[in-house]
Amino acid sequence: MNYNRYHKTTYLCSAHRLSQLPADKGREIVFAGRSNAGKSSVINALTQQKGLARASKQPGRTRQINFFTLGADTRLADLPGYGYARAPASLKQHWGQLINAYLERRRALAGLILIVDIRRSLTGPDGQMLSWCEAKALPAHILLNKADKLSRGAAKQALFEVRKRVAENIGVQLFSATKKRGLDELAQVMDAWIDA
């Protein structure tokens, strides 16, 4: 696998409106998940850069779609988290419309990484995201993040339970951004999508 591909990732831009999205060409992998599931921490672990994606203890800090470039028309996109964000209803509605429009129209999408806090399992919005991927025939892969917070047995049981609930073609793995566990498996999945 091509680790250098991820370690050389740089910030590209942030989009608050569709007109601010980068050119819709090449390959793009999108990261989605509930607020505080650890999307920014996962991106930082993958790229081996502590502050590339801004992580915060306060849920809902990602308020735009943030794009990072791997070069050669290959990008990562970090969506605002769903769930908690302390924000006015009008802003939450705007985020929802922006995300829906982005997902519906984006031709460069190569796959979706769904980040789930292993202690919470799948929520309704997680299921909706996976159903959308299935309808669009977009590959999806679930990271059960924060696996270090559970015992090995409990983590394996959580993995088993999630695998039972999702379609066979959806990948599921244990992951820990803080301990950098599961990076090899994640990189292999993303490599396959980018190089397809």
Give me the pLDDT at residue 72, please.
82
pLDDT in tens, 69-114: 998 899 999 998 886 556 667 766 776 788 888 999 999 999 999 9
Give me the pLDDT at residue 59, please.
45
CATH architecture, domain 3-195: 3-Layer(aba) Sandwich (3.40)
Give me the pLDDT at residue 86, please.
63
Q: Name the average pLDDT for the chain.
A: 89
Give me the pLDDT at residue 92, please.
67
Give me the pLDDT at residue 60, please.
44
Secondary structure (H, E, C), the chain: CCHHHHHCCEEEEEECCHHHCCCCCCEEEEEEEECCCCHHHHHHHHHCCCCCCCCCCCCCCCCCEEEEEEECCEEEEECCCECCCCCCHHHHHHHHHHHHHHHHHCCCEEEEEEEEECCCCCCHHHHHHHHHHHHHCCCEEEEEECHHHCCHHHHHHHHHHHHHHCCCCCEEEECECCCCECHHHHHHHHHHHHHC
pLDDT in tens, 108-163: 999 999 999 999 989 888 999 999 999 999 999 999 999 999 999 999 999 999 99
Q: Where are the domains of the chain?
A: 3-195
